[in-house]
Amino acid sequence: METKFKRVLDLVTQNGKVAIVTGAASGIGLATVKLLAEVGAAVALIDINEADGIVAAEQILETGGRAKFYLCDVTSDSECKKTVEEIHKEFNSIDILFNNAGVIRRKNILELEEEDWDLTIDVNLKAIYLLSKYVVPIMMKGKGGSIINTGSGWGIKGGPDAVAYCAAKGGVVNMTRAMAIDHGKVGIRVNCVCPGDIDTPLLRGEAEQLGIDENLFMEEAADRPINRVGKPQDVANAVLYLASDLSSWVTGTSIIVDGGGLA
């Protein structure tokens, strides 16, 4: 039993690996960088929230991990290119890319302004293209790697008053499949994690957008077979699985982490 357990630990460990996580200053991204650091990865935190991002990196350093924060607008080609170059120079390799940055605008197509559409598509979908464009060549020169994209349950089915978000996350799910086909032969796996309602600032912000009492909104979000709202750690655990050798023959798929909400 002890030997089998050690085998599992060997597959999960990320010692010597370098991970990039976007949207790393809070929520799912923050939980994920902390978990990846705990299992040995060096982590590059990307966010537009500089204050919280720096604090998150410092917390990891204080626990003996290796981390550095990078201020980057993931919708900007030039900033993504520059940031990836800086990360590669600092850490010498990139083995894991978790494209997690996201925004949501709770509006239907009649209410949605063009700037809302552009922001939602750019942050949730275009950013994956930009970061992957500059990370994939580095992975190709190495021993491959794992790319994980944050989709959503609403990337698999529709949802009310979130047309741009649903469009973007649907694109993420199918983009993941296409990337897996394109880059599998060079040892790069590409998968998608699709969270349900997770207790993050983004989710709680939806209540304000919809003009709904936050407590009532969170109670309704918990109405699923596993009778609670998800925690960022729930998704981080799935990301670790997809990043690790436990999933060495898993690519082009989406893992739904939603407490049974889509069941």
33-85 pLDDT, tens digit per residue, is: 999 999 999 999 999 999 999 999 999 999 999 999 999 999 999 999 999 99
**Residues 6 or more apart whose Cβ sits within 8 Å of residue 159:** 153, 165, 166
- Give the C-alpha separation, 169 to 113, whole Å: 18
Return the pLDDT at 193.
98
31-to-57, 87, 199 alpha-carbon distances in Å: 12, 20, 12
- Give the C-alpha separation, 22 to 69, whole Å: 10
Return the pLDDT at 81.
98
Instruction: Delimit the domains of the chain by residue range.
Output: 15-198+234-254
- Asked if residue 1 has pLDDT above 60, the reply is no
188-195 sheet: strands from edge to edge: 67-71, 42-47, 18-22, 96-99, 145-150, 188-195, 254-257
Please write the tens of the pLDDT for every residue from 130-158. 999 999 999 999 989 999 999 999 999 99
- Give the C-alpha separation, 128 to 179, whole Å: 11
- Give the C-alpha separation, 177 to 194, whole Å: 14
Residues in a beta bridge with 96: 19, 146
- Give the C-alpha separation, 233 to 26, whole Å: 12
Candidate list 70, 129, 165, 241, residue with the active-site label: 165
Could you tell me which CATH number the domain at 15-198+234-254 has? 3.40.50.720
- Give the C-alpha separation, 219 to 76, whole Å: 37
- Residue-wise burial string across 51-61, b where 16 or more C-beta atoms lie within 10 A, e elsewhere: eebbebbeebe
165 belongs to the catalytic site: yes
**Residues 6 or more apart whose Cβ sits within 8 Å of residue 118:** none
CA-wise closest residue to 88 among 123, 138, 45: 138
Four-CA torsion 137, 86, 100, 140, nearest 10 degrees: 10
- Asked if residue 2 has pLDDT above 70, the reply is no
pTM confidence score: 0.96
- Asked if residue 3 has pLDDT above 80, the reply is no
Q: How many CB atoms lie within 10 A of CB 77?
A: 13
